[in-house]
Amino acid sequence: MAMNLPINSDLAWDLEAFTQAQRAMDFVTQFEPTLCVYSPSVEQIYSTYNMFFPEDWDRKLVILPNAGAFHDTFFHIEKSAVTATGLYIIPGQLIGKTGLYLANIDKDRNLGKRQLPFTAGMRAIINNRPKGEPFLPVLAKGDLRELEHSWPVLHLHRVGPAAIANISDLDRTNLTNVVTEKLESLFLSQEGRGSHLA
């Protein structure tokens, strides 16, 4: 059955430039239950959604928010409140290891000298944040990238709740809690696989 292109182009990610499209698909789908997606054009964050790769669209990733979970969408999230971090989630295979790692990648698409196991690295960042400024990672269109013409990597944006002007304190707290809980579930999934020992 044919699927219509989302009206919101932020939710249709192009994979045409990927030489290993299937590898990218396999990599990104593991984050579907654990990372929120941000759409700048409508200023919304989606906490529950599904990823699809329609056969009638060559190399497209389509993100469909759960229409029945209106309360899982956060509205009025200004673009200025969501910033690029320069941090990437990379597959351990890229550096001869297993599990997920956290890394920096320079403008020439070279890996930084240091890579940390994802959970340990992320917890260190969270624990060193100033009080009242939590580290809340989200994904946006363009964050799924390919390194060395082979390995998919995932750039992280972060949302700063204190920088969102047009939501209530309750919504700000709910957003913080939802992103944090989903991130914790990603930690647990990685620890369950033993990736922290990789």
What pLDDT shows up at residue 32? 95
Domain ranges of the chain: 9-197
Q: In the predicted model, is pLDDT for residue 196 greater than 60?
A: no
Rg (CA), the chain: 17
pLDDT, mean over the chain: 89
What pLDDT shows up at residue 39? 97
Say which DSSP state 93 is in.
G
Alpha-carbon distances, residue 27 vs 78, 92, 125, 145, 146 (angstroms): 28, 11, 23, 11, 11
Q: Which amino acid is at 35?
A: L
pTM of the predicted structure, to 2 decimals: 0.90
Q: In the predicted model, is pLDDT for residue 14 greater than 80?
A: yes
φ, ψ for residue 84, nearest 5 deg: -70, 140
What pLDDT shows up at residue 41? 96
Q: Is the dihedral of CA 187, 193, 194, 198 positive or negative?
A: negative
